[in-house]
Chains A and B, each alone.
Chain A
Amino acid sequence: MHPLDSTSRPAGPRARRAARTRRGGLVALTAALALTLAACGGGKGTAGAQSTGKEVPGGTLTVAEQQAPPTLDPGSLDLGFVDFTMLSYESLFYLSPAGTVQPALAESWKYVGTGNKELSVTLRPGVRFADGTGVTAEAVKASLEYAKKAQGNQAHYLTDATITATGPLTLTIRLAKADPILPTLLTQSYGIGQIISPKGLADASSLTPTRTSQGAGPYIYQPSDSVAGDHYTYTANPGYYDRSKQHYKKIVIRIVQNGQTAVNAMKTGQIDVYKGDYTSAASAKAAGMSTVGLPVILQGLSLIDRAGEVSEPLGDVRVRQAINYAIDRDAVTRALLGSAGTPTAQTVVKGGDGYSEEYADHYAYNPTKAKQLLKAAGYPDGFELPVLAATFVGFDTMAEAIAGQLTKIGIKVKVTAVTSITSFVENQTNHKYPAVSGGFTEEPMYLEGLDLFMPGSKVFNGFGSGTPELTGLFDKAAAAAPAERAGLDRQMQEYLVKNAWFAPVAFTPVNYYVRPGIGGVEVSAGAPFVSPLAVYATK
């Protein structure tokens, strides 16, 4: 697989203009819109910064991010903030920059039998939490059960799990429903896999930025050297089991909201790695920083009323297909996002799990065909389509752009743009709006099923639509062995495209800007976000 467009080219003037208005919005997206990490089994190629030098022991690594975490409790923290806890809470598994699952607290693991319903895990012996107590099967069980109960936005991955400690260092996780990627979900990229010590769990409400961390990670969070909302300091854990994974003596994560300040701070060496949005790409490049990032944030229309409950026309697959044919994705992407956008008709990125080469151009722009389909469906003069949008992340701009396209085939789009995440989420689920202009961070098909398109998806499938065919495919894929699963995931994606469940428009990237001399900042379709754990200093 080839590395995807890392969008190191400067954004066009229009994109920059559009971007300026949504600086705060992207933050909202990363913070709140289920920033779920993609972790497919297929992604092998990586895109990374030019780290030519050999690794050397590092002093202090300073990473800057745009948004501060509300708490430091891995169990309830939003996915957008896992960086802040992964340093001090060792997870069961480690997701490498190439997207492969590697040992961490778990030394070995395997699915018992077939069907992906029982995972047996053997823990690394002799590992201790920073407080000196041992990492035992009982402790891991307690932490996982806490995460399940804490109701963070990943708790639903564990709702049907029964965890049993089968020995001092062995445990099994039994699931009511198959989950083919459970190990991935228990890596550092997800809060639920970051293990909290029994002492920490005894007073879980104290897992805040003013208290020290309670994990077994390579670093220990230092509240006395941190200011919540400004900077978070982590120092190397002297009792950590593998010194070779401690690339630095100290890691500081700073909160820098202004992109220009971040780039200036990088120029003067105050910041080594900056996790920003594509709007900073041009100035970072001009300052000599390298850019690493994959376009993973999906934007476009979600045609959620697939049974025609409040908008009868949407119940007809031909109408949904017509909408897809009527959108000139290249033109809209160029106009709104410049070179930062990657047009798409699918919900996964090229090379990602489930991506279908065959369906890449399934909805090439064809307004004539769109009109024919509308006519065949009995709407030759079009109809009125209410669309929910939000005033952040440019969802409203995207909705207006799509409206402009659909007018040409007679569909009159009525955009309602709400101003808060709460109201955006509520309105997606209250059966008022048949379509939504929103964003979604792409994931492996199994997770997209849970979060985006299966009937159980709590937010993004607001009408709970489902078909036996799709559910059948999903269940089959969930229980399948890896080799067979790839094909089933692709069939699921093809089903979504053919039946026009969505009208996707483009992907935009999450970018990392990197100072020369820093290595390990790499992403792949299987791990599109950089773990600070992987970053190292070079000569």
Chain B
Amino acid sequence: MHRILFRWLLGAVPVVFAVTVLTFVLTSLVPGDPGRTILGANASPAQVRALDAQLGLDHPLPVRYWDWLASALHGDLGDSVTSGVPVSDQLTSRLGVTLSLIGGAVLVAAVAGVALGVLSALKGGLLGRVVDGISLVGLAVPNFWFGLLLMSAFAVRLPVFPVSGYVPLTDSPTQWFESLVLPVLTLGVPATAPVAKQTRDGVLDQLGRDYVRVLRARGVPERSVVLRHVLRNAAAPIVTVLGVVVVTLFGGTVLAETLFVLPGLGGLAVTAAQTQDIPMVQGVALVFTVTVTLINLLIEVVYTMLDPKVRT
């Protein structure tokens, strides 16, 4: 376990560092500047320059990055350039939304994906083709359109869930759940496809192995063969696929957040990038990167638990 942690740290630290540098440089290359955002179009270029100077934006890029890094290492992510609000305040208030969204979507993708995959592997034939079909459609259908469809079906025609908005878990667990159902499905259902496909292929592969024949010959019940042995052996690549799915979901949150008006990190990243609010963009990028590397660690750990061979 120590070795895994060490290896992870060795990889994660440079990645986080590189991402912060890249984000900083790329954001500052985006046309536009915060002074203009704050003052509006009627301000003269001279006024904008003066405000930019007041905000410290006239310093060279490496100096600004160094300042940011030095404070970040002390736990201070700075204040938003445009609103003056501390970046960490915004991040903490929005992290819960994004994590609920991604957590929910992963849960949907994992449970539905594995169930569909196993079913189609066992029943084969028509169901297999249906799963394949659904997978293809899931990959092809734009999330946006799917989200709108869900919204008009389950929020407008059949007003079961709210059209928009987010209720924090601490305010009302029921309303929190209701506000998340449609966005989670919007993200999670299409993500089911790759998981289902991997599960089906993995299970089929395992079912053809000798040990399965031996187990069956010894009279082990089919359910036990599939759930305790086959699925466990097929699990490692499924976990890998799930890990990849989680990472791609981070991009998808922007869309689900915009469509269902959830105050998450995705929307914050977009607005911050548009207004060249570098401290805010840095903060979001940092949170995303750290989360992704943590997920990678989690996958490694699960992998080790599932496959004794990795441990040696």
Binding site for B on A (CB under 8 A): 31-34, 36, 68, 70-71, 76, 78-80, 151-154, 156, 205-206, 208-210, 227-231, 254-258, 260-261, 264-265, 267-268, 270, 418-423, 425-426, 429, 451, 458-459
Contact partner, B259, options A76, A153, A227, A258, Cβ 8 Å:
A258
Which residues of chain A are within 8 angstroms of B50 by Cβ–Cβ distance?
151
Bits for B75-111, please: 1 = Cβ < 8 Å to A, else 0.
0000000111110011001100000000000000000
Contact B271 A264, beta carbon cutoff 8 Å? no
**Number of residues in B with C-beta < 8 Å to the partner?**
48
Neighbouring B residues of A265 by C-beta, 8 Å = 163-164, 261
Instruction: Mark out the residues of chain B between 45 and 88 whose CB falls within 8 Å of any chain A CB in the assembled complex.
Output: 45, 47-48, 50-51, 82-86
B69 to chain A, nearest CB (A): 24
A interface footprint on B264-276 (CB within 8 Å = 1, 0 otherwise): 0001100100010
A268 touches B43 (CB 8 A): no
Q: Which 7 A-B pairs have the closest CB atoms?
A: A230-B263, A420-B31, A153-B40, A153-B42, A70-B82, A78-B40, A420-B32
* 20 pairs, CB–CB < 8 Å, chain A vs chain B: A32-B36, A34-B40, A71-B83, A151-B39, A151-B50, A205-B84, A228-B83, A254-B165, A258-B259, A264-B155, A268-B156, A419-B31, A420-B31, A422-B48, A425-B36, A425-B41, A429-B44, A451-B42, A458-B43, A459-B41
- The closest CB in chain B to the CB of A79 belongs to B40
Q: Decide: A34 and B42 in contact? CB cutoff 8 A.
A: yes
| Cβ distance B155 to chain A, nearest Cβ, rounded Å | 6
Q: Counting CB contacts under 8 A, is B37 at the interface?
A: yes
Which of A267, A419, A426, A429 has most B Cβ within 10 Å? A267
Q: Kindly state the separation between the CA atoms of A418 and B262 in the bound complex, as whole angstroms.
A: 31
Given A205-B84, A261-B261, is A76 in contact with B151 using a C-beta cutoff of 8 Å?
no
Contact (A208, B85) CB under 8 Å given A70-B37, A228-B90, A422-B36: yes
The answer, yes or no, to whether B173 is at the interface (CB within 8 Å) is no
Closest chain A residue to B261, Cβ basis: A256
Contact indicator B163/A261 (Cβ below 8 Å): yes
Question: Are B40 and A227 closer than 8 Å at their CB atoms?
Answer: no
Question: A153-B43, A261-B164, A459-B42 are known contacts; what are 16 more A-B pairs with Cβ within 8 Å?
Answer: A71-B38, A71-B82, A151-B39, A153-B39, A208-B83, A227-B93, A227-B263, A228-B90, A229-B267, A229-B268, A230-B166, A261-B259, A261-B261, A264-B163, A422-B32, A422-B33
Complex: A33 Cα to B40 Cα, angstroms: 7
> B23 near A: Cβ within 8 Å?
no
CB-defined contacts of A421 to chain B, threshold 8 Å? 32, 36-37, 41
Verify if B258 is at the interface (C-beta below 8 Å from A).
yes
B162 at the A interface (CB under 8 A) = yes
Quick check: is B159 within 8 A (CB to CB) of the other chain? yes
Decide yes or no whether B148 CB sits under 8 A from chain A. yes
Query: B42 touching A70 by the CB < 8 A rule?
Result: no
Alpha-carbon distance A226/B242, docked complex (angstroms): 35
Residues on A with C-beta less than 8 A from B248 are none
Chain B neighbourhood of A152, CB < 8 A: 39-40
B33, B40, B86 pick with most chain A CB within 10 angstroms: B40
Closest to B38 in A: A70
Q: With the chains together, A423 CA to B93 CA distance in Å? A: 34
Contact B151 A70 (CB under 8 A): no
Given A258-B259, A425-B41, A458-B42, decide whether A229 and B271 contact each other with a Cβ distance below 8 A: yes
* Distance between A245 CB and nearest chain B CB, rounded to angstroms: 28
- Select B258's contact among A257, A270, A419, A423, beta carbons within 8 Å: A257
Separation in Å of the A250 CB from the closest CB of chain B?
15
Q: How far is the CA of A264 from the CA of B158 in the complex (A)?
A: 12
User: Chain A residues near B94 (CB, 8 Å)?
Assistant: 227
B37, B84, B156: the one within 8 Å of A208 (CB): B84
Q: How far is the CB of A201 from chain B (nearest CB, A)?
A: 15
Is there a chain A Cβ closer than 8 Å to B152's Cβ?
yes
Task: Determine how close the nearest CB of chain A comes to the CB of B6; give it in whole angstroms.
Answer: 39
Q: Which residue of B lies closest to A439 (CB)?
A: B41
Collect the chain B residues with CB atoms within 8 Å of residue A209's CB. Answer: 83, 85
Contacts of B162 in A (CB 8 A): 268, 270
**A32 vs B166: C-alpha distance in the bound complex, in angstroms?**
29
**Would you call B288 an interface residue if the criterion is a C-beta within 8 Å of the partner chain's C-beta atoms?**
no
Residue of B nearest to A438 (CB): B41
Given contacts A422-B33, A459-B42, contact A270 B164 (CB under 8 A): yes
- CB pair A268–B85 under 8 Å, yes or no, is no
Does chain A have a CB within 8 A of B260?
yes
The residues in B between 4 and 33 inclusive whose CB is less than 8 angstroms from any CB of A are 30-33
B40 touches A32 (CB 8 A): yes
B44 and A261 contacting across the interface, CB-CB below 8 Å: no
Determine which of A32, A151, A254, A418 lies in contact with B37 in the assembled complex, contact meaning CB atoms within 8 Å.
A32
In the bound complex, CA of A80 to CA of B90 (Å): 23
Return chain B residues, CB-CB under 8 Å to A206: 84
Is the beta-carbon distance between A71 and B39 smaller than 8 angstroms?
no
Q: Tell me, in angstroms, the Cα distance from A152 to B84 when the chains sit together.
A: 16
For the complex, what is the distance from the CA of A265 to the CA of B262, rounded to whole Å?
13
Q: Is the CB of A264 within 8 A of B39?
A: no
Instruction: Using A228-B83, A423-B31 as known contacts, say yes or no to A68 and B271 having CB atoms under 8 A apart.
Output: yes
Residues in A whose Cβ lies below 8 Å from that of B267: 229-230
B270 to chain A, nearest CB (A): 9
A254 x B261 contact (CB < 8 A): yes
How far is it, in angstroms, between the C-alpha of A151 and the C-alpha of B54 when the chains are bound?
Answer: 13
Give the contacts of B147-201 with A (CB-CB under 8 A): 148, 151-152, 155-156, 159, 162-166
CA distance A258 to B256 in the complex (A): 11
Query: Could you tell me the distance between the alpha carbons of A80 and B42 in the complex, rounded to whole angstroms?
Result: 12
Check B45–A425 contact: CB distance below 8 A. Answer: yes
Task: Select from chain A the residue with minimum beta-carbon distance to B82.
Answer: A70
Residue of B nearest to A151 (CB): B47
Among residues of B, the one whose C-beta sits closest to the C-beta of A154 is B42
A70-B275, A208-B83, A209-B85 are known contacts. Are A458 and B44 too (CB-CB below 8 A)?
yes
Which of A36, A151, A205 gathers most chain B CB within 10 Å?
A151
Q: Are A261 and B40 in contact (CB under 8 A)?
A: no
Specify which chain B residues have a CB less than 8 angstroms from the CB of A418 in the assembled complex.
Answer: 31
Cβ distance A1 to chain B, nearest Cβ, rounded Å: 28
Set of chain B residues within 8 Å of A425, measured between Cβ atoms: 36, 41, 45
A32 to B43, CA, bound (A): 10
**Which residues of A have CB within 8 Å of B33?**
422
Closest A residue, CB atoms, query B93: A227
Name the CB-closest residue of A to B50. A151
Residues on A with beta carbons closer than 8 Å to the beta carbon of B45: 425-426, 429
Contact A151-B51, Cβ < 8 Å, known A71-B84, A156-B42: yes
Contacts of B32 in A (CB 8 A): 420-423
Contact A270 B163 (CB under 8 A): yes
Which residues does chain A contribute within 8 Å of B156, judged by CB atoms? 264, 267-268
In the bound assembly, the distance between CA atoms of A68 and B267 in angstroms comes to 11
What residue in chain A is nearest B168 (Cβ atoms)? A227
Chain B: minimal CB distance from A269 (Å): 9
Select A268's contact among B82, B86, B163, beta carbons within 8 Å: B163
CA distance A120 to B16 in the complex (A): 61
Chain B residue, CB-CB nearest to A450: B42
| Chain B residue nearest in CB terms to A426 | B45
Q: Which residues of B contact A458 (CB under 8 A)?
A: 42-44
**In the complex, A28→B303 CA distance in Å?**
48
Kindly list chain A residues whose C-beta atoms are within 8 Å of the C-beta of B152: 264
B263 touches A256 (CB 8 A): no
Specify which chain B residues have a CB less than 8 angstroms from the CB of A423 in the assembled complex: 31-32
Q: Give the distance in Å from the alpha carbon of A153 to the alpha carbon of B86 in the complex.
A: 25
Q: Is the CB of B261 within 8 A of A255?
A: yes
Chain A residues whose C-beta falls within 8 Å of the C-beta of B163 in the assembled complex: 261, 264-265, 267-268, 270
List the B residue with the shortest CB-CB distance to A150: B39
Please, which residue of chain A has its CB at the minimum distance from the CB of B36?
Answer: A422
